[in-house]
């Protein structure tokens, strides 16, 4: 992870976003924002998502999803 996490408290949900540089064996470099949403009142529940940071990464993820 290339930068410290930025935590934002928005009501009952805590969200953390971290930029990540992934390396896929076929697609190469894929830059994403890794996000985690936590509910402090329910620690067993969490949502994790990766979203592309640029057009090339978006296209690479679409190609991967179409396989």
18-27, pLDDT tens digit by residue? 999 999 999 9
User: Residue 22: which of 1, 49, 48 has the closest Cα?
Assistant: 1
Between 14 and 57, the higher pLDDT residue: 57
Between 61 and 10, the higher pLDDT residue: 61
Query: What pLDDT score does 50 carry?
Result: 93
Computed from CA positions of residues 6, 8, 14, 19, in that sequence, does the dihedral angle turn out positive or negative? negative
For residue 57, with 0-12 CB atoms within 10 Å meaning exposed, 13-18 middle and 19 or more buried, which class applies?
buried
Q: What is the pTM of this model?
A: 0.67
Cβ partners under 8 Å of residue 43, min gap 6: none
Query: What pLDDT score does 12 carry?
Result: 63
């Amino acid at each position: 992870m290339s930068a410290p996490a930025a935590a934002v408290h928005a009501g009952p949900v805590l969200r953390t976003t971290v930029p990540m540089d992934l390396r896929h064996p076929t697609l190469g470099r894929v830059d994403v924002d890794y996000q985690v949403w936590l509910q402090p009142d329910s620690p067993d529940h969490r949502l994790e998502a990766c979203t592309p940071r640029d057009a090339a990464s978006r296209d690479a993820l679409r190609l991967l999803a179409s396989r």
